[in-house]
């Protein structure tokens, strides 16, 4: 269970905080429906005076990056002080699906790298080291972890079937499957 909070006082507008809370709920539900990961929003930590409330694995907070990113996350092996999700002001006006942006960032938080750095991706896409990565499925231009580049990728940032297959190899099937079996 990955506990998180949304630090209310970091957001300049109340509506921004509320939309991030709602979009995080939908994005985490989508990952839990895709594979065996579960998240919990610890609402009591949203009003914490700390930027790193001890009762959560990661906080989500507003940060003006000057447009360097729409949102930014972390990897599971990052040190504890890097476990956070930043939301830039450009998140409010992006043409990407806003739940999709969080699906993408949460994909990083559970260990997934960018799909477009793999062989088979258009050469126009930005490159990163693939050291330490494992290919879970064949290359998927529609992956939630694919940038919108080289004529492929998707603004919706949905979690397509190949991503589900890959995620289940790491985390097993959605836990709701077990609940249904037990019912
Ligand atoms: Zn990314």
CATH number of the structural domain spanning residue 81: 3.40.390.10
Q: Is residue 60 part of a domain?
A: yes
d(CA 15, CA 13): 5
Do both 28 and 74 map to the same domain? Answer: yes
Judging by DSSP bridges, how do beta strands 58-62 and 71-72 pair with one another?
A: unpaired
Residues 162 and 97 placed together within one structural domain of the fold? no
**Cα-Cα-Cα-Cα dihedral sign, residues 122, 123, 124, 128:** positive
Cα-to-centroid distance, 44 and ligand 1 (Å) = 28
User: What is the arithmetic mean of pLDDT over 51-71?
Assistant: 97
Alpha carbon of 71 to ligand 1 centroid (Å): 8
Both 100 and 152 in a single domain?
Answer: no
The pLDDT assigned to 176 comes to 79
Q: Is 179's pLDDT higher than 70?
A: no
* Average pLDDT of span 69-77: 97
Distance between Cα 45 and ligand 1 center (Å): 26
Residues 58, 40 share a domain = yes
Strand ranges for the chain from DSSP E: 2-6, 39-41, 58-62, 71-72, 85-87
Distance from the alpha carbon of residue 80 to the mean position of ligand 1, in angstroms: 19
Distance of alpha carbon 96 from alpha carbon 56, whole angstroms: 28
Contacting residues for 83 by C-beta, under 8 A, at least 6 apart: 57, 58, 74, 109
Question: Can you tell me the mean pLDDT for 109-123?
Answer: 95
**One domain, residues 120 and 75:** no
Domain range holding 94?
1-111
pTM of the model: 0.95
Alpha-carbon distance 42 to 8, whole Å?
12
At residue 129, φ and ψ (nearest 5 deg) are -60, 140
Residue 102 and residue 73: Cα distance in Å, rounded? Answer: 9
Distance 183 CA to ligand 1 centre (A): 38
Domain presence at residue 91: yes
Phi, psi of 8 (to 5 degrees): -55, -45
Number of domains in the chain: 2
Mean pLDDT, rounded, of the chain: 95
* Residues 120, 88 within the same domain: no
């Amino acid at each position: 269970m990955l506990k998180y909070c949304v630090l209310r006082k970091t957001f300049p507008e109340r509506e921004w905080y509320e939309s991030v809370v709602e979009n995080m709920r939908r994005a985490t539900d989508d990952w839990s429906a895709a594979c065996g990961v579960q998240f919990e929003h610890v609402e009591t930590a949203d009003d914490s005076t700390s930027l790193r409330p001890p009762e959560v694995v990661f906080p989500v907070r507003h940060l003006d990056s000057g447009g360097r990113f729409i949102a930014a996350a972390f990897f599971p092996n990052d040190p504890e002080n890097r476990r956070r999700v930043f939301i830039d002001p450009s998140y409010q006006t992006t043409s990407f699906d806003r739940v999709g942006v969080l699906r993408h960032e949460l994909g990083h938080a559970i260990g997934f790298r960018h799909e477009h750095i793999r062989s088979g991706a258009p050469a126009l896409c930005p490159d990163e080291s693939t050291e330490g990565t494992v290919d879970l499925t064949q290359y998927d231009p529609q992956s939630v972890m694919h940038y919108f580049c080289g004529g492929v990728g998707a603004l919706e940032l949905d979690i397509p079937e190949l991503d589900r297959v890959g995620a289940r190899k790491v985390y097993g099937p959605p836990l709701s499957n077990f609940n249904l079996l037990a019912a």
